[in-house]
Structure 1
Amino acid sequence: MFVLKLLIAAVLAGAAAGCQIAIAEPAGDAREAHMEVEGVVEIFSGGHGLGYVTLDDGKCYDLALPANVLKNSRRWDMKRVVITGSLQFRPRIDEMMWFDIKDRKIEGFGCSEDVIYVESIRKL
């Protein structure tokens, strides 16, 4: 009986380990959607640049921010802004600490599954 339980535990552990290395990719025909949003941006210093924008209707988008915005995060944090960029695929795997979007790294968690690759940002 002990051997059977041990075998079941090994199979479950192997299955769980296989799930941890799954690679999430967009569909082959996925295209970038360009968009412009207006809302309040919040930037957390440190790490790989977690930031997000909250729109007036409560919708939230995570942001892949350029380095100059991250360096001057206090200038932008909690400010009302207009952001233009492209909507990007975000893998939702709990074990991911960070991932790359084009030339930027962002945290593996955030407020939504939608990430805007920020091309421009301006204060209102």
Structure 2
Amino acid sequence: MLIQKLLIVTVLTIAAASCQISLAKPAENAKETLMEVEGVMEVFPGGHGLGYVTLDDGKCYDLALPAKVLKRSKHWDARRVQIIGSLQFRPRMEEMMWFDVKDRKIEGFGCSEDVIYVESIRML
């Protein structure tokens, strides 16, 4: 009887752990705070927006890049840039290959759970 109860508890625990939870989206009229960062940007060609910026202090932010930057990824890669954008949260889930950030799609992995939706970018 004890083994049967342990088996049931184990099955229920595994089932509960494997459920995915959808996070509520913020209201459309919610104001987003823009942030400005400077650092060295890496852009991966052929991707759907995967790039990141490493700040001088070593902090890393993943980037939801506009199409015009992705089309010229070699031009932007390994360059020092100033980026202005809104900070978005991306949950880390191993099974997620893509993640939507507003109107952009980025890979489901990266250097951080923090993603900057790039509004403005310029080389320094």
Q: Please classify the TM superposition score into its range, dividing by the shorter chain length.
A: 0.7 to 0.9
RMSD over aligned Cα atoms: 2.3
For residues 27 and 83 of structure 1, what CA distance do their matches in structure 2 show?
23
- Pick which of 46-55 and 2-11 moved more: 2-11
Deviation at 1:70, TM superposition (A): 0.6
- Give the unaligned 5+ runs of structure 1: none
Q: Does 1:116 align with 2:116?
A: yes
TM-score when normalising by structure 1: 0.82
Equivalenced residue count is 122
For residues 17 and 60 of structure 1, what CA distance do their matches in structure 2 show?
29
TM-score when normalising by structure 2: 0.82
Indicate the percent of aligned positions where both proteins have the same amino acid.
67
Q: Does 1:11 align with 2:8?
A: no
SS at match of 1:112: coil
Contact 1:62 1:116 survives alignment (8 Å): yes
- Give the unaligned 5+ runs of structure 2: none
Matches within 5 A, 1:1-124: 7-8=8-9, 10-18=11-19, 21-25=20-24, 31-124=31-124
Deviation at 1:3, TM superposition (A): 6.2
Distance 1:67 1:42, change over 3 A: same
For residues 89 and 73 of structure 1, what CA distance do their matches in structure 2 show?
24
